[in-house]
């Protein structure tokens, strides 16, 4: 499956914390301990206890930027965008080159359709030459442009993300942007590559089916829609795929009768 927001955020949060523990002060080590406990609660989607642990962390060490960032993540996931924005900005007050916080702030601005602020935040994240995950803000830039129906710019952003890290989510989003832009041939090539990269990904298969359908290849589309029903049974996506299969097969049957 295409990875959802929470696993990606947790991966980034865990990666942020894995730095030189031996060089930390006793106070900071204690703050990190609360932070780690908060991450465990967040993995269980226990937002209430996660918030408590992250708050304990910053009370222990008011300069522990990761807990401000984590508080922003939790509030973002709870739909409390103003609070999330405040915590991300507090993290950036501690470290103005904290790219993860710049990127997360850009996501918050995107959700509120503050396009100029969002783009500025993503670009700030990318200015840090030692940023370890620049493919992430490029993905988010692409999402921002997609929301504005600027499909050409979205395609460019997703291409850059894919160039940095060739992962299924980048290929999927790139293919969808190309379809939206009317570049069906290019979308087919990307999504076929994505299906080879992640053959059991129903989202990718569904997107590939749509690309085949738009190119006029109904048989290939039916084949891919059927794979979706096999890979993700009893889901809304599978029901939609089956509806396409039924409709397309009826169309093929009518075409044969009229010949």
* The pTM of the whole model exceeds 0.85: yes
Tell whether the model's pLDDT for residue 256 goes beyond 80. Answer: no
Tell whether the model's pLDDT for residue 5 goes beyond 70. Answer: no
What is the CATH number for 188?
A: 1.25.40.10
Q: What are the tens digits of pLDDT across the range 24-39? A: 689 999 999 999 999 9
Residues 206 and 240 both lie in one domain:
yes
Angle, alpha carbons 154-7-168 (nearest 5°) = 45
Domain count, the chain: 2
Burial of residue 240 (number of CB atoms within 10 Å: 0-12, 13-18, 19+): middle
Q: What are the tens digits of pLDDT across the range 169-221? A: 999 999 999 999 999 999 999 999 999 999 999 999 999 999 999 999 999 99
On whether residue 92 sits in a domain, the answer given is no
On whether residue 208 sits in a domain, the answer given is yes
Long-range Cβ contacts of 251-254 (<8 Å, 24+ apart): 251/218, 252/218, 252/219
Structural domain of 215: 200-259
């Amino acid at each position: 499956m295409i990875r959802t927001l929470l696993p990606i955020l947790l991966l980034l949060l865990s990666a942020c914390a894995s730095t030189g523990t031996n060089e930390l002060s006793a106070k900071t080590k204690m703050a990190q301990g609360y932070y780690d406990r908060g991450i465990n609660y967040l993995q269980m989607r226990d937002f209430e206890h996660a918030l408590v642990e992250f708050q304990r962390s910053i009370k222990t060490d008011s300069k522990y930027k990761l807990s401000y960032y984590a508080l922003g993540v939790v509030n973002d996931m709870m739909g409390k965008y103003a609070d999330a924005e405040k915590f991300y900005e507090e993290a950036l007050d501690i470290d103005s080159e904290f790219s993860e916080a710049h990127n997360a702030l850009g996501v918050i601005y995107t959700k509120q359709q503050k396009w100029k602020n969002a783009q500025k935040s993503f670009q700030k994240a990318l200015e840090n030459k030692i940023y370890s995950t620049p493919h992430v803000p490029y993905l988010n830039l692409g999402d921002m442009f997609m929301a504005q129906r600027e499909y050409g710019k979205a395609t460019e952003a997703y291409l850059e993300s894919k160039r940095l890290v060739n992962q299924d989510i980048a290929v999927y989003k790139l293919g969808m942007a190309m379809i939206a832009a009317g570049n069906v041939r290019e979308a087919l090539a990307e999504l076929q590559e994505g299906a080879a990269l992640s053959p059991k990904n129903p989202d990718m298969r569904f997107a590939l089916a749509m690309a085949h359908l738009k190119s006029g290849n109904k048989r290939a589309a039916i084949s891919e829609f059927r794979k979706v029903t096999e890979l993700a049974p009893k889901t809304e996506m599978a029901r939609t795929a089956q509806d396409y299969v039924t409709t397309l097969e009826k169309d093929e049957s009518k075409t044969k009768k009229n010949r």
